[in-house]
Structure formats: C-alpha cells, structure tokens
A and B are shown apart, each in its own frame.
Chain A
C-alpha cells in the first residue's frame, strides 16, 4: 500500500513537471512556419520545454485560448471587439505580443504601367466596382482579379482591411501565393495580393505603392513605412496570451524577440519587430 502511494506520488510529480514544460501554440496559418522555426530554435536552447505548434486559422487560435485549450494563440490580425468581450466574460485577459510584421503587397503584371493605388481604389477593384484599368490611370484593359481561398487568413485580412465588403464573384481563388504570382505574370490585366516575403523572388510582376493616411504613396518594401503603419497594408503577427506572460511562455517571447529569434522571423520573409510594436511589447511583458 505504501509502495503504491509512493508510486502515485511519483506519477503525480512526473505529470506535474511534464505539464510545466509544455507550451501549446495554435492559430494562424500565415504564422505557422515562422512559429514552428522559432519553437525548434527555442527547444534547442531549452530542452526541458516541449513546444507544439498547430494551425487552423487565427479565429481557431483565439477560440482555443478562450477555452483554455492553448497557451498562446497565433493571430495574423488583431482580435475583434466581439472576441475580446467574449474572452473577458469568460475571465480571460487577452494580451498580444507582436513577434514580427507582415506587409501584404498588391501586385500587377510588369507590363501594366499602374504603380500607385489608394486603399479605396484597391477595395473598389476587388469588390468589382472598378472593372477597367483606365479608371485608375492605366490603359483600356479589363481587370482580372486573383485572390486566395477562404481558408487563408490573408483572404480574410485583405477583405476586412481593404474591401470592407464582399469579394467580386468573378475573382479567381488561387491555391496559394505561388499560383497568384504565376497567374499575374501571365495576365497583363491581372491584379493579386501576396505576402511581402515573396516579392523579392518573383519576376514578371511589380508591386503597387499604396497611399497612406498622410497622402503619400508607400511601397511594401519600405521597411520604415511598414513599421510605423504608414504603409496601410501592414499587419502585426500577434501572439495572444492570457494575462501577463510568465514561466515558459515568457521565456518563449523573450527568445522570439531576441536577436536570434528575430533572425528566424526575417528568414521566413517577415519584418522584425520595431517602432510602435516594440513599445507595445515592452508594455505587455513589463520590462
């Protein structure tokens, strides 16, 4: 009997340590690869911690955080007010740490002379209200729309930020970024949107400068403008946690924001954290 009790106690203890060294991260598919790389590098430095990363989409991650099913929720968009109030009603206090920044870029065929658009124009083009390039200063040629599929966080973000309405039904929904690049390359009248990380490698396409709130046009390749939000299509790569992070969660963030961690972020095609986001992170982490 005594032996059994010792065994049980040991088992409990073991279970306790395993629990303490486990970090569950869930959410955005855009952030899946970069988080996976960060987790691998982090585990190499901290072999006592197991980090498991799964996707499913930003909304899925936020829901699991509310239900206590994960420690960190990846979200390539900010939480909606409704999500925030639901979380607070459940006694969850969501706080975001930004581990990197993504600049979405609008691309056209390189033979298309249009290189500048406002957010309103991009929105109207994708809602199907502007149908010809001559309505935005280009040649008389029909616009053909290329976008992502509904499963993509980019599909949702671009719609919510730029269109604020429904995509035109005529938009061709492509399987991924590479397919969009390929299609716009072949189609002189094409327009598409991709993550900034893919811009450098792609040929035959050109990125469009987007007008910021100050009236100037900014390129997604302008890192400074992406940092401070003057480039309108930039978005933070958020990791939401419940309350002020401590323990392994905190150690993970400290690693992600360290020089080594930010190198990983850059390696995956995103911008490192800077500007206002760094200030926000410091406030959450309380350094």
Chain B
C-alpha cells in the first residue's frame, strides 16, 4: 500500500518535471527570439522593418530589411493554399464522415492522415520537376516556379490537417441531429450539407486555422517551388519569397551578430506571433464546439 503511494508520487513528479521542461524550453526559445530579434532595431528602424518594401540584406549598396514583400509572399501562398484546400478538404471530410462506413472509413482516414507525414522535400521536388513544367505549358508562361505552384503544393500539404480535423468535428455532431433531419424527409446529402456541416461550423473553422498554420510555417517545399524573389506579386505566376524560406536560405551563411543576423530572428518572431495567434483562435474554437454539444 505504502509502496504504491510512493510509485504514484514518483510518476507524478516525473510527469510534472517533463511538463515543466517543455514549458521552460518553449519560453527559452521565445526569450531567445525576443532578445535577438529586437536587436535588429539597433541597426535599422522599426518602421523600416515593418513597412519597408524591399528585402535586400546582401546589397551592392546599402542593405535594407523590409518585411512587406516577405509577408506578402507568405500571405499570398497561404491564401492560394486555403482557396484550394478548404473546399477540397471540407468536401472530403464530409464524404468521409457522413458517407463512408465501417472499415473502409478507417482505411481512408488513415491514408489521409499518413499523407500528413509525407516528407516536404519530396513534395517540393514534385513541384519542381512535375508541377512547374505543367504550369508553364498549360498557361504558356516562362516559368512555373512561383505563387501558383507554391500555393498548390501548400494546399496538398494542408489537406490532411483540414480533412482530419474537420472529420473529427463532423463526428462529434450528435446522431440525433441527423435522425431529426431524416424524420423531416431530408436526404442523407441534404442532411450532411444543411444540418451537420453548419452544426460543426466552429470545428471546421478550427481545421481551417490549423491548415493555415501548417501552410504558413512550411519551409522546404515552398523554398523549392516559389521562385524566391522578394517581390510583392502582381500576378499568380510571379515568383515570391516567404518568411520561412528567407530564414532557411540566409541563416546558414549570415555573419553572426550583425543586423542581418538579428533581422532573421525578427522574422522568426513575426512567424511565431502569427502561429501563436492562429493556434489560440483554433484552440478556442475547438473548445467552444465541444462545449456546445455537451449540453
């Protein structure tokens, strides 16, 4: 009896220590980002960073560190990814949750979730050698490396997240909703689209937010297919450079403790804040949905 108590207490301590360690590491990373990121502004102005229209840290003349083209790159690629990913993903989730039954459903869902573990460098390579020539020929543009390609690859990458979380959201809608709809004479499709989907609204929004987080944080695949020119795109075929790609490309070779070095940490900070906000919103949406059905 006493021994078991001791075991319980030891287990509690171990888990508490691990939880604390995770929190401390996370806070440490945030602190590191803050300390280094904020030092950017000893070398360049805050306004110049936040509103600067040109990112050219390795300039022939004066280097400039403007966030705007990189933010635009990340924003527009993610926008395209969601424009493709949301309709396909939500439709896929509705199909899986409402129309598939039994073992087949489990198999399909597992395959979709496995796709989330697909190495991004492989998808990037696919974009480089298959999608790029295809876009270039189909639309008769000089290069298929750019916004459209990056958005498409990102859509592929965020689909598993969107489908999986949406499916979970649809599954927690109580069976009584569907039965009520059937009783009123609705077909299964009408029920799925007009009753179940609206009921799972906030869970699906959460899925979209998580898909957004997946897309904006992706680095390797985007780096390979976006063309990497730090401009604000005017057309869907223009090359873009995302925040993540910039950090990946430049951090490896930047001289330490220079304004350029710190500016890359400031970019990391921007990315961190975007991801944090996204996750907070998604979390609160998921929680709200769980609550709404427990009544």
Of the residues B60, B132, B229, contact of A160 by C-beta under 8 Å: B60
Task: Give the number of residue pairs across the A-B interface with Cβ within 8 Å.
Answer: 76
Partner of A150, one of B69, B238, B249: B249
Q: From A93-101, A165-173, A193-201, A236-244, give the one contacting chain B.
A: A165-173
Using an 8 Å CB-CB cutoff, how does the interface string of B246-277 with A read, 1 for contact, 0 for none?
00011011110000000000000000000000
With A57-B253, A183-B143, A190-B142: A172-B136 Cβ-Cβ less than 8 Å: no
Over the window 48-60 of chain B, the binary record of Cβ atoms lying under 8 Å from chain A Cβ atoms (1 yes, 0 no) is 0000001011111
A interface footprint on B40-73 (CB within 8 Å = 1, 0 otherwise): 0000000000000010111111000000010000
Interface range on chain B (Cβ under 8 Å from partner): 20 to 34
User: With A150-B249, A164-B60 in contact, do A59 and B255 touch (Cβ < 8 Å)?
Assistant: yes
Pair A60/B142 contact, Cβ less than 8 Å: no
Give chain A residues whose Cβ lies under 8 Å from the Cβ of B230.
169
Least CB distance, B59 to chain A, in whole angstroms: 6
Q: Which residues of B contact A171 (CB under 8 A)?
A: 229
Report if B227 contacts A (CB, 8 A): yes
A188 located at the interface, meaning its Cβ lies under 8 Å from any Cβ of chain B in the complex: yes
| Bound complex: CA A98 to CA B69 (Å) | 41
On whether the beta carbons of B252 and A151 are closer than 8 Å, the reply is: yes
Q: Which residue of chain A has its CB nearest to the CB of B252?
A: A151
Q: A149-B249, A151-B249, A189-B142 are in contact. Are A163 and B60 (CB under 8 A)?
A: yes
Mark interface residues in A197-229 (1 if CB within 8 Å of B CB, else 0).
000000000000000000000000000000000
Q: Are B142 and A149 in contact (CB under 8 A)?
A: no
Tell me if B213 counts as interface (CB < 8 A to partner A): no
Interface status of B133 (Cβ within 8 A of chain A): yes
Chain A residue with the shortest CB-CB distance to B228: A173
Cα–Cα distance between A29 and B142 once the two chains are bound (Å): 31
- Chain A, residue nearest B129 (CB): A182
Q: Give every chain B residue within 8 A of A164 (Cβ-Cβ).
A: 60
Pick 19 A–B contacts, CB within 8 A, sort by A. Answer: A57-B253, A59-B255, A60-B255, A142-B142, A150-B249, A150-B253, A151-B253, A160-B60, A165-B61, A166-B56, A172-B143, A172-B229, A173-B228, A175-B223, A175-B224, A182-B129, A186-B136, A186-B143, A190-B142
